Amino acid sequence: MARTSSTHGPRRDDQMKHEEHALLHGSPDEGRTEPRRGEAPGPGDEASPGVRADVDEPQGGAPAQRDVEARAALAASFRPSVFPARRDRLIEEAEAGFADEGLIAALRQLPDALYDTVGEVWAALERSASEEKRS
């Protein structure tokens, strides 16, 4: 009996040949055949009971999806090495990184203070927004 590999046994060679065949010649995606993994309902279809609730509705104390996305956009506007920084430096950095004009305008409303992290900037932005709503 001739072996096809000197590093594996005959069983492993057969298994590898089988795996290679599936990769090269295609095999059905078995994950899609299960009903729970089918396509999501379209705009006119009824949602099934297993479909998630609207992701913008915070559940269990989690932040709303729009807040998560806004905080991610804020974090992407700054290099980590910019911190700690004062408000004017943060504005310069955001402008250099082509940040959204709305974000730059919000940064201009911040008090001139030293911010150690993106989290501190986010908290200050939230305080600033809540103060504007009260006014």
Cβ neighbours of residue 10 under 8 Å, at least 6 residues apart? 1, 3
| Cβ(108)–Cβ(127) below 8 Å | no
Q: Where are the beta strands (DSSP E) in the chain?
A: 85-86, 114-115
pTM, two decimals, is 0.56
- Note the pLDDT of residue 45: 60
Q: What is the pLDDT of residues 53-101, one digit of tens each?
A: 555 566 677 888 888 888 998 999 999 899 999 999 999 999 998 888 9
Cβ neighbours of residue 57 under 8 Å, at least 6 residues apart? 64
Phi–psi pair at 51, nearest 5 degrees: -75, 140
